[in-house]
C-alpha cells in the first residue's frame, strides 16, 4: 500500500471497502450514467483520449465503473487527435477533422464528456454539436471543474505552457501527454444552465465536492484540504455535474 493511499484512508476510512471514498466524483458521475444506459443505446464519448484510465485498473479496480463497452450496443469515441485509436474502451473511434463532429445527426442515445468542458474555446459551438448528434429524448452527461474551485483559480494564473510541469509535481501519476490547455469558459453553474436551455436540453447543473486530490503531494497539504473541503461554501465546490435530456 502506497504512502498516499494510507494518508487518504486516514481521512476516508471507507476506502478500505472498495477503494473509493463517499465523496468520490468519478463514482458519483459514472454511476448516474450507468443508471441511464440501456443495452440498445449508442453512446458517444467526446474527447475520449487514449483511455489512460486503463493504466489504473489493476491498482484501482473500482475505476471500471467508467467502462460502457459491452454494456450498451456501441461506444463511439471522438477526439481531435489520433490517440483514440489506442483506446481499448471504444467499439469505434473517429477523429474530429473540422468544426463538425464525424457523427451522424440524431444518431446518439447518450453523450458524455469527462474533463472536456474546461478546454472549450467556443462552448456554444460544442453544445450546438451536442444538439445535432443526440436524438430527441437522448442524454448528455458532463463532469468538469468548477471555475471558482481553488485549483481552477490557481490554474488560471499559470500559463498553459507550464500546466504539464506543475501537474507533474502535484499529480505525478498523470502523463504530460494527457494535459491540455484550459479556458474555463463554460465552467459555472449559471453558464451551463444557459447552454442547456439555449441548445434545447432540459436538465440540471450542480456542484460536487470531492477529495482534495490535487493536494496529495504533501500529507500536511492533504489534511488541510480535507478540513477545507468540509467548510467551503457551495459556490467554491470543486466539480460541476451536468445532465440533460434532448428536447423534441
Dihedral-angle region of residue 133 (phi above 0 means left; psi in -120 to 50 means alpha; beta otherwise):
alpha
State how far the Cα of 215 lies from the Cα of 160, in Å rounded to an integer. 20
pLDDT tens for the chain, 248 residues long, are 444 444 788 999 999 999 999 999 999 999 999 999 999 999 999 999 999 999 999 999 999 999 999 999 999 999 999 999 999 999 999 999 999 999 999 999 999 999 999 999 999 999 999 999 999 999 999 999 999 999 888 877 766 554 445 444 544 444 544 456 889 999 999 999 999 999 999 999 999 999 998 888 888 889 999 999 999 999 999 999 999 999 99
Q: How many other C-beta atoms lie within 10 A of the C-beta of residue 103?
A: 20
Residue pair 15/9 in contact by the 8 Å Cβ criterion:
yes
Residue whose C-alpha cell is 453544445:
127
Domain covering 3-246 in this structure, CATH number: 3.40.50.150
CB neighbour list of residue 22: distance below 8 Å, 6 or more residues apart = 12, 14
pLDDT tens, position by position, 56-108: 999 999 999 999 999 999 999 999 999 999 999 999 999 999 999 999 999 99
**Cross-strand bridge partners of residue 206:** 241
State how far the Cα of 189 lies from the Cα of 23, in Å rounded to an integer. 19
State how far the Cα of 96 lies from the Cα of 203, in Å rounded to an integer. 27
pTM for the structure as a whole: 0.88
Sign of CA dihedral 164, 167, 172, 177: negative
Helix (H, G, I), strand (E, B) or coil at 22: coil
Amino acid at each position: 500500500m502506497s504512502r498516499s493511499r494510507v494518508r487518504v484512508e486516514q481521512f476516508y476510512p471507507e476506502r478500505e471497502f472498495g477503494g473509493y471514498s463517499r465523496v468520490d466524483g468519478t463514482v458519483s458521475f459514472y454511476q448516474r450514467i450507468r443508471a441511464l444506459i440501456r443495452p440498445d443505446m449508442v453512446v458517444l464519448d467526446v474527447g475520449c483520449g487514449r483511455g489512460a484510465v486503463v493504466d489504473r485498473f489493476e491498482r484501482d479496480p473500482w475505476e471500471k465503473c467508467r467502462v460502457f463497452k459491452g454494456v450498451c450496443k456501441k461506444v463511439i469515441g471522438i477526439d481531435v487527435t489520433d490517440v483514440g485509436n489506442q483506446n481499448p474502451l471504444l467499439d469505434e473511434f473517429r477523429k474530429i477533422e473540422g468544426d463538425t463532429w464525424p457523427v451522424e445527426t440524431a444518431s446518439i442515445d447518450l453523450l458524455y464528456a469527462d474533463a472536456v468542458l474546461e478546454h472549450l474555446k467556443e462552448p456554444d459551438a460544442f453544445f450546438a454539436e451536442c444538439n445535432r448528434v443526440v436524438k430527441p429524448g437522448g442524454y448528455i452527461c458532463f463532469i468538469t471543474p468548477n471555475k471558482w474551485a481553488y485549483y481552477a483559480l490557481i490554474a488560471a494564473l499559470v500559463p498553459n505552457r507550464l500546466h504539464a510541469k506543475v501537474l507533474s509535481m502535484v499529480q505525478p501519476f498523470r502523463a504530460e501527454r494527457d494535459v491540455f490547455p484550459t479556458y474555463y469558459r463554460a465552467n459555472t453553474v449559471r453558464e451551463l444552465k444557459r447552454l442547456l436551455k439555449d441548445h434545447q436540453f432540459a436538465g440540471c447543473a450542480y456542484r460536487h465536492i470531492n477529495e482534495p486530490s490535487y493536494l496529495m503531494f504533501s500529507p500536511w497539504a492533504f489534511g488541510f484540504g480535507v478540513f477545507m473541503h468540509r467548510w467551503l461554501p457551495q459556490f467554491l465546490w470543486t466539480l460541476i455535474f451536468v445532465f440533460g435530456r434532448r428536447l423534441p
